[in-house]
A and B are shown apart, each in its own frame.
Chain A
Amino acid sequence: MVTRLTPPGAQPLPTEARLIRNEPYYEAVGGEIALFEAARASCLPVLLKGPTGCGKTRFIEHMAWRLQRPLITVSCHDDLTAADLVGRYLITANETLWVDGPLARAVRSGAICYLDEVVEARRDTTVVIHPLADDRRILPMEKRGELLQAPPEFQLVMSYNPGYQSVLKELKHSTRQRFVAIEFRYPDASLEEKIIRSESAADSATASALVRLAQMTRNLKGNGLDEGASTRLLVHAAKLITRGIPAAAACHGAIAEALSDDPEMLRAIDEFAASVF
């Protein structure tokens, strides 16, 4: 008889729920804050669409702070199963112990549950969020025979990058049509400059040169690049520059190499950097 088992991963997961106490820096681009608050007031789930590094995760952290609700983030990966979200039985000394998954914990505590890059998850997992994402707002826990009713404070949020090319990584319509979508784009030049300055303490000339560099790489999307440089990459480069790394080296490391492996493309991006600085 098995009395003691410690299989890998059997320890209860550390709690990711957190209440954000200090305001995360976020610059609103359009009406996204009002839209999010209205969706929340109407108990509607939200889908954040946009390219990588344009501020989706930062936005949701900011909203969690604004609303003073705990935020539970699940970074989705291709082995994420339904049980990873809902929960599973563990075995302790001759008894079984149910451990809630992050989604169940979020529902019970009325938190904001943020499923980051949801298309990365296995397709069947998106189905468990369907009853939570429509007007029923319930989470069926089959293994426990329990039906969790979400309180009004609970909010489901997913992020999705529509730029992926894999046909296996498209969001199913049955899923996406349950969500209020907020589209994120890169901020316009002056706002992006402001973001870089406040995130990295770079001076205004550096920030504006970086924005110009980013615009040039974004012009290359579809012409050799899958994505242009994101705001996040610009912040990385700015941080390196403020630590004394020469601009060309910082841009090469933080931007060029992050965008491409193609030697000609790397050279073109390096020449952008040599031009704007």
Chain B
Amino acid sequence: MNAPLSAAELGKRLDYLLGPVLSSRRTAAPLAQALSALDRQQQDFVLHWIEVIDRSNYELAYQFAAAAAEALGQLGASSAEAWIIHAMDAYDREGLFRGSEVFRQFDLFRRQAADSHAVTFAEYAPVLELFVCGLAGRRLKLEIADEAKTDTETLFLPPRIALFPDKADNCAVYRILAVLLWAQGRYGSWQADLGAACAARPDPARAAALLAHFEGLRLEARIARLFPGIARTMARLRGGEPDPRCAGLVSANATVGDSLALLDRLYDSFNPPALPWSFSLHPGTNAVRSARLARERSELAAALAALMRQHPPPESAAAAPEGRFSIETGQSADADGAAEFELRLDGRSVTPPAEVVQLIDSLLQDLGEIPDDCLQAAGGGGYREKDEDAEQTGDITPDGGHDGSAYFYDEWDYKRRHYRKNWCVLRETDIEPADDGFAVATLARYRPQIAQLKRSFEALRGEDRLLKRQSGGDDIDFDALVEGCVDLKTGMELPERLLTRRHKAERNLAALFMVDMSGSTKGWVNDAERESLVMLCEALEVLGDRYAIYGFSGVTRQRCEIYRIKRFDDAYDDTVRRRIAGITPRDYTRMGAAIRHLTTLLDAVDARTKLLVTLSDGKPDDYSDHYRGKYGIEDTRQALIEAHHAGIKPFCITIDQEARDYLPQLYGPANWTLVDNVERLPLKVADIYRRLTA
């Protein structure tokens, strides 16, 4: 093992790494002094992580460095890594203060880590998120909070649960809490104004706690009928029967009204027992809920208008068609299970598209029924689309101060339904190669995975093709032989070429990878993107497909930028690897112009199948511009349609949890994929490419 670094050597490194947050009063010397006591391996570990954390935030890296020497002594290498990741998570989610706090309180982390029966939010959230998504049919956000509560779009859950000695039971409590919170929206807790009901009491906090308890009992009963398995777990863990005075809440058709009535009766006399899964009522729910209702109503109106256009009234209609939609619910909406309904237009049954089904289902969950005024198709003067920012008029001319290296691209304006000519100014630049050994480190880190990827890619290499009428080969060509026999019969010579041979055909495929370099990729996403690209290149070299990599970013339509990382003709060499390492987060994502530019590049390549694969972390967006929102999505969609027309197949790999809301509209239902976990991105990208072209 190498000798430990001295305090002076460490001081120099730390000065360099933490420079931006050091000053004459806060120097690296005490940190260096503390770290000099560690062995070399530990020192390298610390320096490595300071470098990594630096990429997110210098102050956070300083806090880590300050705590590292003592923490490493207590935690040991593997749980130190968990501690660092926990702190960085806290930083990503809740900001610098929380991140630094976790670094300072490593002792708390150590004690909590020692409770092997405890379940933390971070460890269970990935499973719970899937669970809740399956339950609700729409993605609900999960977040950490001190008390469990929900505003019907986000479920807030405690950071850790260690109530029971068995870890599985603690997981079950998380699950029960999530189901109860989901059930608030599903079974109409918020159909009454709970905030007002509590505020009317002398002690609103007490009223809220009672009401939360009653609603909990009512929802437990609902859930028990739907999910017998959860009911058994609840019965086992709850400890004690519910108070007999609350028995009315258990009946199948109890509503939030019954809970309110019980509050009236028991306000003075009842003290709620502590349950393992108690939650509080979120005060902001009504605002969130009415915003969603308004949004969904307007979306439904627009969707119904589109549906009406697809179903023109029959010629034979006796009366003038009114264009009235109606809904017949097959099952009353407050019964257990999913509501089923039939949509009718002027009495004729119509099959609603998935979008309408989802909206109606969501409204049914919120309102219990669909009021007639929700079923009016948008049209005439009755409906205005969401307010967009005032339209920006052209404030630059295409030639205004731009040199010859710029490209001009049209942009689609969905409101005008035509292109804005030469609207975006785009430049191509080289990326600055970085010499930080990133590629080497990635290759080392993922060596086994890369070997496996290469093997699976080898299997793809070139499809077998059967060459006929060969003079040498491994099988008989019967067509040739039959003809040969005929020739022979008629007195001619038997031909020589009577064999078939398998030949590996070239995969006639060109792929262009378009990498999001927007500011939002800063930190782990950027690392994951770069690692993905290194692994992808390794795998693609085996396959021999032609491929290119470009990054995109920019600020406003006057400065769209495309960064060359690897052109189709560039070999995958050290320069390319260093360019990948040099990918840094820049500005915004004006996707339309980037797609149009790369479509032009891809169009010039001669290949049978052309793929444009986008690696993205969010929806199209630009700075102080009307590009955000629907305008950007529509322009991107239009650019993708243009790519389609050029014979290019677009595909999108995203890590945006909300991608489901807009990507199907952009790429079609099957041409995108969501990688849930950023850390998995490097392992997934090459695999997705393989599936895509298999």
| A-to-B contact residues, CB < 8 Å | 1-2, 5, 7, 88-91, 94, 96, 143, 162-168, 188-189, 209, 212, 215-217, 219-220, 222-224, 264-265, 267-268, 271-277
Contact = CB atoms under 8 A, between A and B. Distances in A.
Given A89-B478, A89-B482, A274-B229, A216 B126 contact: no
Nearest to B664: A222
Given A168-B609, A189-B340, A268-B127, A219 B478 contact: no
A220 B133 contact: yes
A89 B671 CA distance: 42
Contacts, number: 107
Contacts of A273: 229
Given A89-B478, A89-B482, A222-B660, A166 B693 contact: yes
Nearest to B688: A165
Contacts of B136: 219
Nearest to B351: A30
B107 interface: no
Given A89-B479, A189-B340, A277 B229 contact: yes
Most buried by B among A164, A219, A272: A219
Given A165-B670, A166-B692, A268 B478 contact: no
Contact of B139 (A5, A163, A215, A223): A223
Contacts of B205: none
Contact of B693 (A89, A168, A264): A168
Nearest to A165: B670
Given A89-B482, A165-B691, A219 B228 contact: no
A212 B337 contact: yes
Contact of A277 (B228, B481, B485, B660): B228
A163 B693 CA distance: 15
Nearest to B231: A275
Nearest to A3: B485
Interface residues of B, number: 44
A12 to B, nearest CB: 14
B130 A265 contact: yes
B674 A165 contact: no
Contacts of A162: 669-670
B134 A268 contact: yes
Given A168-B693, A168-B694, A223-B139, A276 B229 contact: yes
A189 B339 CA distance: 10
B45 interface: no
A224 B674 contact: yes
Nearest to A162: B670
A70 to B, nearest CB: 29
A216 B226 CA distance: 12
A5 B476 contact: yes
B565 to A, nearest CB: 23
28 contacts: A2-B481, A89-B479, A91-B485, A162-B669, A162-B670, A163-B669, A163-B670, A166-B694, A167-B609, A167-B649, A219-B133, A222-B664, A222-B669, A223-B133, A223-B660, A223-B674, A224-B676, A264-B126, A264-B127, A265-B130, A268-B127, A271-B127, A273-B229, A275-B179, A275-B230, A276-B229, A277-B228, A277-B229
Nearest to B660: A222
A82 B678 CA distance: 45
Contacts of B674: 222-224
B130 A223 contact: yes
Interface in B650-694: 651, 660, 664, 669-671, 673-674, 676, 691-694
Contacts of A165: 651, 670-671, 673, 691-692
A167 B651 contact: yes
A239 B478 CA distance: 48
Contacts of A217: 134
Contacts of A267: 127
Nearest to A90: B478
Contact of A215 (B338, B649, B670, B693): B338
Interface string B101-135: 00000000000000000000000001100110111
B488 interface: yes
A264 B677 CA distance: 11
Nearest to B482: A96
B44 interface: no
B497 interface: no
Given A88-B478, A276-B228, A167 B692 contact: yes
- Pairs A-B, 4 closest by C-beta atoms: A216-B134, A268-B130, A275-B227, A219-B137
Nearest to B227: A275
Contacts of A94: 485
B545 to A, nearest CB: 12
B175 interface: yes
A264 B128 CA distance: 9
Contacts of B175: 271, 275
A94 B486 CA distance: 10
Contact of B131 (A188, A209, A272): A272
A5 B482 CA distance: 12
A166 B509 CA distance: 13
B355 interface: no
Contact of A188 (B227, B340, B476): B340
Nearest to B175: A271
A165 B179 CA distance: 33
B134 A219 contact: yes
Given A166-B693, A167-B693, A220 B134 contact: yes
Contacts of B691: 165-166
